[in-house]
Structure 1
């Protein structure tokens, strides 16, 4: 009950402050069916584009690699960032996947077979346990226990993604600090003298045949932290893939968070 009340207060606060800078970023999304949330950590303010869509749940796709990595580390299936799961010699559409991978390289190249094998080794029961204690979206695995984050069984909203990332950033998930530290280190996308961007992309096919893209994470500047979640629809994967980071970076620059 406490978690549910906290989430409701979080969403209420999000809605209360979401209009502050919405006009500043709305033009960025004029040609896109998208949702975006940015949380100003120090000031506890939100910017929110498309509130209705922000509350709508979609498959998390490879953004689930953040919690999935935590699950692998917590259960002991994965020992550390350099833990190798061998390629099973099955050819995939992505040549980068067709080799042995470590946890570090698997999250960098979004290697689906690595995480499918991880899920098989963890098992349905333990996976379900962590979905529950993380309070992750609808917490549903469905019929296929090694593909549920991609087959529209598991669903999560942009609102919920930001709440999860907030708990992850604050080290408030019920996992060991070591597990959180490993995952925080392997999701660094950019590191400069002015900021560090930690994030994960995701992309998959929705039940209506369109593709959804995600970009989820947090930006650390010298003076503040900004948690964010973006999702965007497109008719093809190729159309969707570049939009995720492009739109997010445009927002950061529009708000002068980065140059």
Structure 2
């Protein structure tokens, strides 16, 4: 009798050990599944939306966590942000108190500029819509180099290089130059989309009030069913930008279009046309 008593105990231990082994496997499987999650990527050649213009585009569908890259190599190439940097300049001004809202006004110097809308005292909303360089030159100068550097680092904005603070001197007037205009600061179209996503999805240092103010002045189109927010940019090397995001039926798509064509004149307005065409094209493919 003494010989058979330990048998049930051994069986019980074996069963317990087997149960522990099964219980320990589940978290490992869950961990493996979690490490495999992340954005999906799709690379495409330029479509008819580009109208034969050389360039690239990044579209990011937030809901599906899916990136579509047209001309992927160029999408990953850092270039000057030009006037698309006014998006970040606005946030910097609001965050440091240099700007307080859409009505924040900067004083006009009296210089006659080729863009009529620049010749007068301007509010933030007016300066953003007319892409007034001297207004944002004043904003950035008041924010200061140390704060600009800190905020660019926090956003992981491109190469974060503001070494040419006064710019490369492409314009005759100093107040129309800056490190973001065909100068030291550079960012890729893909990085543009990633920075915008951080800002508007609440993953940056900026407050909701600051982001909402920016969002208000970025509105480009609202047809009742969709809203498009964005900013154009044009460079001296026959280049054009349009970056922003679209909201439609509860879905949000971020985008960055960059055009660079040595064989024709391109601008931010053409990049905007390409962006709208791509948004329509991808919607029809969904």
The equivalent residue for 1:106 is: 127
**Candidates 230, 239, 246, aligned match of 2:266:** 239
Q: Residue 126 of structure 1: CA displacement?
A: 1.2
TM-score norm. by structure 2 comes to 0.78
Structure 1: tracts of 5 or more residues without a match:
1-11
Q: 1:48 aligns with which of 31, 51, 69?
A: 69
SS in 2 for 1:136: coil
Matched, 1:175 2:206: yes
- Output the CA distance in 1 between the equivalents of 2:74 and 2:240: 13
Contact kept, 8 Å, 1:58 with 1:152, in 2: the verdict is no
Structure showing greater relative contact order (alpha-carbon pairs closer than 8 Å, 6 or more residues apart) = 1
Look up the SS of the partner of 1:82 in the other structure. coil
Q: After the TM superposition, which residues 71-150 of structure 1 pair with which residues of structure 2 at under 5 Å, given as runs?
A: 71-145=92-166, 147-150=178-181
2:278 counterpart of 1:251: yes
Offset at residue 103 of structure 1 (A): 0.7
- Retained in 1: the 8 A contact 2:85–2:180? yes
Q: Does the CA-based 8 Å contact 1:40-1:225 persist in structure 2?
A: yes
**Counterpart-to-counterpart distance in 2, 1:51 and 1:201:** 21
Q: CA deviation at 1:143?
A: 2.6
1:161 to 170, 184, 192: 192
SS at match of 1:90: coil
Using the alignment, how far apart are the partners of 2:262 and 2:116 within structure 1?
A: 23
SS of the residue corresponding to residue 227 of structure 2 reads: strand
* Residue number among 202, 225, 232 corresponding to 2:233 in the alignment: 202
Distance in 2, matches of 1:156 and 1:241, equals 16
Structure 1 residue 118, shift from structure 2 partner: 0.7
Task: State which of 55, 60, 75 in structure 2 corresponds to 1:39.
Answer: 60
TM-score (norm 1): 0.86
Determine whether 1:188 maps to 2:219: yes
Task: Tell me the CA shift for residue 153 of structure 1.
Answer: 0.6
Kindly report the root-mean-square deviation, in angstroms, between the aligned alpha carbons of the 2 structures.
Answer: 2.0
Q: State the Cα distance separating 1:238 from its structure 2 match.
A: 5.4
Number of positions where the alignment pairs a residue of Structure 1 with one of Structure 2: 238
Unmatched 5+ stretches in structure 2:
1-36, 167-176
**How far is 1:158 from its partner?**
0.6
User: Post-superposition shift, 1:172?
Assistant: 1.2
Larger radius of gyration: 2
Specify whether residues 239 and 163 from structure 1 end up closer, same or farther in structure 2 by C-alpha distance, changes over 3 A only.
closer
- The offset of 1:234, in angstroms, is 3.6
CA distance in 2, matches of 1:237, 1:112: 24
Shift of 1:147: 0.6
Q: Deviations over 1:61-100 (max 9, x none)?
A: 1111111100001111111110000111112221111111
